[in-house]
Amino acid sequence: MLSEFGAVDAFELDDEARQVAAGKGAIDVRKGMLPDDVPFAPGGYDIVVAFDVIEHVEEDVASLRSLGERLAPGGRLVMTVPALPWLWGGHDETHHHYRRYLRKDVEGALRAAGLKPVAVTYYNTALFPLIALTRLLKKLLGRDATPDDRMPGPAVNALLKAVFSAERHLIGRVRMPIGVSLLAVAERA
């Protein structure tokens, strides 16, 4: 999808994930790992994206710094991360997350990495009440460790996709007050 905007390079530590990407045939995914084993030279990219990546690495600031170093002057980092630490649950454990973030945490990590936050907003706001209620009920019932990411049936999945997709018209225009995830855009300082 990103290839329609220009050349795309990617890296991934997991051999199986690289094989899945290779099977899709779109781009070559190199072996690499944040923060210290990034297989691309510094300063060569106008945009670096990290969609649901930073929560998976122990050293988030060092990883953001490493990604920021790959940006050309004036280049931008676009990233998403899970939001709201109090939503922590089995889903996060299953997916090997180290943390969930508040907006101020993302802004602080970006600044500590030498990047200038341009925009940081919550998203996945429309589904927030349902997800928050599910996570809170699981905590109250002592079922917090149970993951909640099974694929729903086709009809429910289509409805959830429509609700989630509807927010795309607001992102960048309205700073969302709360959501299950955070979207950040930062510039190389």
pTM of the model: 0.89
Quickly state the pLDDT bin for 27 (edges 50, 70, 90). Answer: confident
Number of neighbours of residue 129 by Cβ within 10 angstroms:
10
In a domain, 18, yes or no: no
Residue 66 lies in a domain: yes
**Number of structural domains found in the chain:** 1
pLDDT value of residue 90: 84
Residue with tokens 């309205």: 174
Asked whether residue 144 carries a pLDDT value surpassing 80, the answer given is no
CA distances to 62, 111, 138, 156 from 105, in Å = 14, 10, 26, 33
The enclosing domain of 50 has a CATH number of 3.40.50.150
Beta strand residue intervals within 100-153, DSSP E: 115-123
Per-residue pLDDT of 154-176, as tens digits, reads 888 888 888 888 888 888 788 88
- Which structure tokens are listed for 10? 């990617």
What is the domain extent for residue 140?
Answer: 33-188
pLDDT digits over 66-90, tens only? 999 999 999 999 999 999 999 998 8
